[in-house]
């Protein structure tokens, strides 16, 4: 098992998958790669929220989301900034109550909301996260 706190030993994407031990992580990676041609960058963070190794999915220098591995699930950080705010708030009515609650409870700072979303199942919350990432990319919303 990888040690997420060992700054001297960078884990692989496969080791993240083994640590998480949930097929949803592989699905997320594949969907992001296929839909947006983004790259997975494994980085060490010294931030106070979650110190250790994480995976940032980036496209053109912009981070679409960051994944923090846990055992059996993972947390996805999606930052909603000023450019994304109107579209994100428009879609909230069609989202799960869980996402709406997280959005309401997340304070806005410097024009951003840092949404931390725990994913374990390919459920409606997963769908909402993928919609937020689509907004981060700047892609048009799919037609209903």
The model's confidence at residue 109, banded by pLDDT at 50, 70 and 90, is very high
Answer yes or no: is 30 within a domain.
yes
Q: Which two tokens stand for residue 49?
A: 């929220």
- 7 part of a folded domain: no
**Count of domains for the chain:** 1
Q: Is residue 131 part of a domain?
A: yes
Tell whether 77 is covered by a domain. Answer: yes
CA nearest to 78, candidates 47, 99, 48, 52: 99
Q: How much is the pLDDT for 141?
A: 62
CA dist 20 → 6, 70, 79, 90 (Å): 17, 5, 22, 32
Instruction: Give the pLDDT score at 118.
Output: 97
Residue 5 lies in a domain: no
Domain containing residue 109: 13-137
Whether 130 is in a domain gets the answer yes
What does the pLDDT read at residue 4? 86
Report the CATH number at residue 133: 3.90.1150
- What pLDDT does residue 59 have? 95
pLDDT of residue 55: 97
Separation CA 72–CA 85 (nearest Å): 31
DSSP state for residue 106 in the 8-state scheme: S
Using the predicted structure, report yes or no on whether residue 124 has a pLDDT greater than 90: yes
Q: How far apart are the first and last CA of the chain?
A: 43
**What confidence tier does 46 reach under pLDDT thresholds 50, 70, 90?**
confident
User: pLDDT at residue 28 above 80?
Assistant: yes
Residue 63 pLDDT greater than 90, yes or no: yes
- Predicted TM-score (pTM) of this structure: 0.92
Alpha-helical runs (H) found in the chain: 13-20, 23-36, 82-91, 97-105, 124-137
In a domain, 143, yes or no: no
pLDDT band at 142 (very low <50, low <70, confident <90, very high): low
- Does the residue 117 lie in any domain? yes
């Amino acid at each position: 098992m990888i040690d997420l706190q060992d700054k001297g030993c960078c884990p692989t994407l496969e080791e993240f998958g083994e640590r998480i031990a949930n097929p949803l992580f592989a699905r997320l990676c594949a969907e992001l790669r296929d839909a947006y041609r983004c790259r997975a960058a494994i980085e060490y963070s010294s931030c106070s929220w979650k110190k250790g190794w994480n995976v940032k999915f980036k496209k053109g220098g912009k981070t679409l989301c960051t994944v923090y591995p846990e055992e059996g699930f993972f947390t996805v950080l999606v930052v909603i900034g000023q450019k994304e705010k109107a579209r994100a708030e428009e879609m909230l009515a069609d989202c799960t109550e869980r996402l709406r609650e997280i959005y309401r409870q997340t304070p806005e700072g410097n024009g951003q909301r840092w949404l931390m979303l725990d994913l374990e199942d390919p459920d409606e919350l997963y769908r909402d996260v993928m919609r937020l990432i689509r907004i981060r990319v700047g892609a048009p919303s799919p037609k209903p």
